[in-house]
Amino acid sequence: MNTSNTFSTSHRQAHLLLIVATALTGLGLTACGGGDDSTSTSTTSTSTTSTTTTGTGTNTSTGTSTTAASTAGVLCNYATSAFNSSASVNKTATATWSCSSTLRSLTANGLPDHDVGTFPNNDNPNTISAQTISASVTVTPTATSVVTPRVGAMDKPGVALNGIAFDPGTAGTCSDAGACQQGGQSLGSWSLEALGQTFFKWGTDTSNAHVQPNGMYHYHGIPEGLVTKLSNGSKAMTLIGWAADGFPIYARYGYTTPTDASSAIKVVTSSYRTKSTPDANRPATTTTYAMGTFTQDYEYVVGLGDLDECNGRTGVTPEFPKGIYHYYATDTFPHLQRCVKGKL
């Protein structure tokens, strides 16, 4: 295991604090450079997961500009310890959550508890290694009308129940002239997407994840292996993690009527689409880089889908039958929320 090298951030109520036992440059997304898609997977041994739910969570306010909630009692004792026999891991993955009166806290070793692809691979030269990860989010999140971006190296939007970080952005950039790099020194303001395009390859596996140079495995989209494990393969609302502001994150499925738990389950859709006209100065227009290659290729359209600009909505969930603001990992852009609506 790497020697500990931590960074600290004040415990503002909803601020996600990740402490990783590798150099902080590893969190700078230099690892998201270079890489083609790897579809090779290996097997994972049966995991042992302990999940304790002691409450349902309730809304404590119904204001329109701010809405306070409590997540206390929901998955406060979630823990997993599973030997991952995938050739790229071959170690035990651990993650343990606990709650105090104010914070939900995580300790984990950063190893996935599900099948993973082959790492290193032709397009991602990095090897998965154990980390020392801690995270804390508030148990009393407050939804606001303020949108706070969460895509920077130190500003992850959330963390999965198994302790793997959600990290939708990349360090890849292009200049107006079309000079591009997939990691390292920025060449311009055009941000490369990891998913939803095929020109640039990142070596992601079937869980939409890959590895940074420091060995940190992380998700760029729906963590399919984790979702299958948590849902037992069923089409159901599945809580997969917690956002930086303390609100829950679900994967793919939600109720057709957000306020009615008896309504049918559906695939929840984002409200983003590719722009009909490329932005001015876009590299190589669409002849080389198809629309969707760059983050700037997408636009948010109110009401286009089911979700707001942060890929969230307010409604009931299995864990919160009285309703709560919550986020979704979706099949299309932004894949994982890139901002939060809760108070930080």
Local structure of residue 199 (DSSP, 8 states)? S
Tell me the pLDDT of the chain averaged across its residues: 84
Q: What is the pLDDT confidence band of residue 153, given thresholds at 50, 70 and 90?
A: low
As given in the structure block, the two tokens for residue 304 are 């286009």
Other CB atoms within 10 Å distance of the CB of residue 266: 14
Around Cβ 20, how many Cβ atoms within 10 Å? 23
How do residues 178-201 score in pLDDT, each as one tens digit? 999 998 888 999 999 999 999 999
Look at the block and give the residue holding tokens 């603001």.
325
Whether the Cβ atoms of residue 269 and residue 307 lie closer than 8 Å to each other: yes
Is 55's pLDDT higher than 50? no
- Give the DSSP letter string of 67-119: EEEE-TTSSTT-EEEEEE--TTT-EEEEEEEEE-SSEEEEEE----SS--B-S
> When comparing pLDDT for 50 and 167, which is higher?
167
Q: What is the pLDDT of residue 152?
A: 65
Give the pLDDT of residue 77. 97
The pLDDT of residue 44: 38
Any idea how long the chain is?
344
pLDDT tens-digit map of 208-253: 999 999 999 999 999 999 999 999 999 999 999 999 999 999 999 9
Task: Say if residue 89's pLDDT is above 70.
Answer: yes
276 Cβ contact list (under 8 Å, min separation 6): none
Is 2 a residue whose pLDDT tops 90?
no
Write out the two tokens for 332.
Answer: 């299309």
Average of pLDDT values for 124-148?
Answer: 96
pLDDT score recorded for residue 287: 83
Beta bridge partners of 58: 70
Residue 318 has a pLDDT of 98
Averaged pLDDT for residues 78-87: 97
pLDDT reported for residue 32: 58
Residues 324, 236 contacting (CB under 8 angstroms) = no
- pLDDT for position 66: 72
Q: What is the pLDDT of residues 28-42, one digit of tens each?
A: 223 354 333 333 323
pLDDT at 21 over 90: no
What is the model's pLDDT at position 59?
Answer: 38
pLDDT classification of 284: cutoffs 50, 70, 90: confident
